[in-house]
Amino acid sequence: MDSLDQEYLKSRSIGRRQEDLLAREKIKKHARLFTVGQIITSEMNLNSLFEVIMDQTNQIMGTERSTVLLYDEERTELWSLVATGMKKNEIRIPSNYGVAGWVFQNNMPLIINDAYSDPRFYAEVDKKSGFRTKNILCVPLVNRKGQCIGSLQTLNKISMDFTDEDKELLISLSHYVAIALENSRLYEDVKNYSEELKTTLIRIETLERVKSQLTKFVPGSVAKMVEHDPDRLTFEKIPMKVTILFIDIQGFSGITEGFDQRVVNDMVECHFSRYLECIYRHCGEVNETSGDGLMVIFKDAALESHAKKAVAAGLEIVLENSRLNEEFTYPWGRVDLHLGINSGEAWVGSTKMKTLTGERWTYTASGLVTVLAARIGALSSETKLYVGPETYRCIQNSCACESIGIKELKNVKTPLEIYRVLNPNIA
């Protein structure tokens, strides 16, 4: 082999080694790019993500500083939260200013190796930061939909000018950056939605707790109307057929005056808790309460139907009263009730009372039918259930009753025949 052949083989060997070195460098760079991509896409917090992108871009590109600028559609500006080596100040520029603006508007990468000689360079940022830009490589950030969402630029390559190879590398990196930014935005949206949902659920839970407390004071029909259509809720009274049940404790004034109030209160709570179960079982609605009494409305059905329900509730209360007197003893003796029922037409709705301090609304059934039910109840004693003539007409074929005669009622002109409903377990 002559000297020429040896020189050829030697130069070829050197060339191959250089090619191998370049190939290894390329593989290392792409491996580094993959690692950087994993680091960038693993960060979800937008504030932290800016810093990660800047730091990783500087490392892989061998530059002094990098900046991500995102497009703010509402303000038509490009903004950045942080740039490496600067404080965490928000930077904003018009979306068509500077190299980043040009790249964003044209959706094209750009290399400028002498920044101050290029008219597209926006020197104001350097003036504010005290940093001097020498050369720039800037690429657009493009999302999954192919929309440009901002620019990624890296400044002042440490070893030499930027090359086309650097441009390709930064473009590859920008794909990871765009994905990370989109993921971060989605994460922030989900987090914000989650916070809003959490706040809404807390409000709903609070409203439910308030509702559960208020429904103790609000008639069931009013609560149903509010739930069904609160915007169309009307408080006007309307005429309707109802049955009214009055209950109060016989001799309650004397009991209250002569005995310990805690014992009296325990008795009222114990008895009326049991009576309420009877009332609700037959769809009655407690409308008004006093210290020792209840006014209950039965409606939302035909007159005969709710008259029977009211009487059934009244008979259950009679039986419950007997059980309670066997179960509990009090220093004053038995607990007896006044019980009166009457049926007919009443005006049902709200009564509004205005004062200097505001308004108070009550939901009730008013009219003669209510007055008569109260007067009939006042005639009753020893837990006997009395009903008026209209209620008797509705139940006479289903309940055993006896007339107690024609009675004059307080402040009522016309005397009425009153009937006692006999407890089926007693009659």
Query: Which tens digit of pLDDT belongs to each residue from 201-250?
Result: 887 776 666 556 545 545 555 555 545 555 555 557 788 899 999 999 99
pLDDT at residue number 409? 86
pLDDT at residue number 183? 81
Per-range mean pLDDT, top range of 181-185, 211-215, 294-298 = 294-298
Give the residue-averaged pLDDT of 162-187: 85
The domain 17-188 is classified under which CATH number: 3.40.1800.10, 3.30.450.40, 3.90.1010.10, 2.30.110.10? 3.30.450.40
Say which range, 71-75, 137-141, 174-178, 317-321, has the weakest mean pLDDT: 174-178
pLDDT at residue number 287? 77
Question: What six digits make up the tokens of 425?
Answer: 């377990």
Query: Which tens digit of pLDDT belongs to each residue from 7-26?
Result: 655 555 655 666 666 667 66
Phi, psi of 66 (to 5 degrees): -140, 155
Say which range, 92-101, 187-196, 224-233, 278-287, has the weakest mean pLDDT: 224-233
**Residue, of 136 and 9, whose pLDDT is higher:** 136
Instruction: Quote the CA–CA distance of 179 and 200 in Å, as a whole number.
Output: 31
pLDDT at residue number 427? 36
Query: Which tens digit of pLDDT belongs to each residue from 251-261?
Result: 998 998 889 98
DSSP run (H or E) holding 190 = helix 164-214
Phi, psi of 407 (to 5 degrees): -120, 145
265 pLDDT more than 60? yes
Average pLDDT of the chain to the nearest whole number: 81
Instruction: Quote the CA–CA distance of 149 and 139 in Å, as a whole number.
Output: 11
pTM above 0.85, yes or no: no
Query: Which tens digit of pLDDT belongs to each residue from 37-96?
Result: 667 666 666 667 777 878 888 888 889 988 888 899 899 999 887 544 445 667 888 999
Cα pseudo-dihedral 366, 371, 377, 379, rounded to 10: 180
Question: What six digits make up the tokens of 301?
Answer: 């059905």
* Percent of the chain topping pLDDT 90: 31
Per-domain residue ranges for the chain?
A: 17-188, 220-421
Give the residue-averaged pLDDT of 94-121: 92
pLDDT at residue number 86? 47
pLDDT at residue number 70? 87
304 to 175, 249, 308, 347, 372: CA distances (angstroms): 78, 28, 6, 18, 18
Topology of the domain comprising 220-421: Alpha-Beta Plaits (3.30.70)
